[in-house]
């Protein structure tokens, strides 16, 4: 059991984000009832921010364009931090969707030069639908929200945009597509992990939807990217046609 005196001494580590998750929770509970600690923590956080200012660099011009382009597509939180109604669930989903829209927008702006407007609204809708249908949504959410989640976007032809999000820590990837033409009758889109040119099945997409978020089945396990092929209904054990889309995972 950590004593009170010991907790007082954590203000420095707290201000430097140098506590473990468990200690952070314990310390924050302590802070709530300790006025002098709150004051000291605020002062030391402000001191740490000065270390940050001292590290200032000149950002690349492209970064400015991308961020300014993307903010217009990201909804702001309500003041007070609580959306009306069911607070907890709804607001964490809003946060996830915003984070998702942002990642998708930044990836698209970087990959597509900002000339094509990312159809973030449709991607958000796809994710909302996935939530409602409860199809691996917890896992999709976990991948999108993973601190190491990396995103890559690409035009897929026919006006469709695809975005792959990969978390190596979770060993999982999510593929989000918007505006994809429905496959012909009796056909289905199949996803594949690209293991250095060998395709490993990662599940089927829903043939009835043009916008969707899909959790790839199986672990990333060193795969270099993801591919999509058109296959007979039910899928194939290996691709029977050339890929309609092939995206490398971000490094």
Partner 1 sequence: MKEAVHIGRNPSSKPDLEELVSRVALGDEDAFTGVYDAVAGSVLGVARAVLRDQAQSEEVAQEVLVEVWRTAPRFRPERGTAVNWILTLAHRRAVDRVRSVEAAAARDHQAALLERTPEFDEVTEQVEARLEREQVRRCLRTLTEIQRQAVTLAYYRGLTYSQVAEALTLPLGTAKTRLRDGLIRLRDCLGVTV
Minimum CB–partner distance for residue 95 and partner 1 (Å) = 8
Burial state string for 86-121 with b = 16 or more CB within 10 A and e = fewer than 16: eeeeebebeebbbebbbbbbbbbbbbeebeeebbbe
CB nearer to partner 1: give 47 or 241: 47
Provide the mask over 101-130, with x wherever binding to partner 1 is found by CB under 8 A and - wherever it is not.
-xx--x------------------------
For residue 219, list its beta bridge partners: none
CB nearer to partner 1: give 87 or 169: 169
CB nearer to partner 1: give 59 or 85: 59
Contact 173, 216 (CB under 8 A): yes
Query: Tokens 């690349």 sit at which residue?
Result: 60
Contact 203, 191 (CB under 8 A): yes
Q: Is 139 in the site for partner 1 (CB under 8 A)?
A: no
CB nearer to partner 1: give 60 or 208: 60
Helices (H), 16-154: 21-32, 35-53, 61-71, 87-112, 120-133, 137-145
CB nearer to partner 1: give 47 or 198: 47
In which element (H, E) is residue 212 found? strand 212-215
Residues within window 41-100 making contact with partner 1, judged by CB under 8 A? 42-60, 63-64, 66-68, 70-72, 74-81, 98-99
Q: Is 5 in the site for partner 1 (CB under 8 A)?
A: no
Query: Tokens 């199809």 sit at which residue?
Result: 135
Q: Is 213 in the site for partner 1 (CB under 8 A)?
A: no
**What's phi and psi for 162, nearest 5 deg?**
-120, 145
CA distance 132 to 126: 10
Q: Is 145 in the site for partner 1 (CB under 8 A)?
A: no
Residues within window 22-41 making contact with partner 1, judged by CB under 8 A? 39
> Interface residues with partner 1 (CB under 8 A)?
6, 9-13, 15-20, 39, 42-60, 63-64, 66-68, 70-72, 74-81, 98-99, 102-103, 106, 146-148, 150, 168-169, 251
């Amino acid at each position: 059991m950590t004593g009170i005196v010991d907790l007082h001494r954590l203000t420095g580590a707290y201000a430097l984000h140098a506590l473990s998750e468990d200690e952070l929770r314990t310390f924050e509970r302590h802070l709530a009832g300790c006025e002098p600690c709150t004051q000291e923590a605020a002062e030391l956080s402000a001191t740490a921010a000065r270390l940050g200012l001292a590290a200032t660099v000149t950002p690349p011009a492209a970064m400015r364009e991308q961020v300014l382009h993307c903010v217009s597509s990201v909804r702001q939180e309500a003041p007070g931090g609580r959306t009306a109604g069911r607070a907890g669930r709804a607001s964490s989903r809003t946060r996830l969707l915003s984070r998702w829209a942002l990642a998708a927008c930044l990836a698209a702006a970087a990959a597509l030069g900002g000339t094509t407007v990312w159809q973030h609204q449709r991607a958000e809708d796809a994710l909302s639908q996935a939530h409602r249908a409860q199809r691996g949504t917890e896992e999709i959410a976990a991948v999108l929200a993973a601190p190491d989640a990396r995103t890559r976007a690409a035009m897929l032809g026919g006006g469709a945009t695809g975005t792959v999000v990969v978390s190596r820590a979770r060993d999982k990837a999510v593929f989000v597509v918007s505006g994809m033409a429905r496959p012909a009758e009796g056909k289905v889109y199949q996803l594949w992990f690209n293991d250095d040119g060998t395709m490993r099945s990662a599940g089927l997409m829903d043939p009835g939807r043009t916008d969707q978020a899909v959790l790839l089945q199986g672990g990333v396990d060193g795969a270099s990217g993801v591919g999509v092929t058109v296959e007979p209904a039910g899928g194939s054990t290996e691709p029977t046609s050339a890929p309609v889309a092939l995206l490398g995972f971000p490094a």
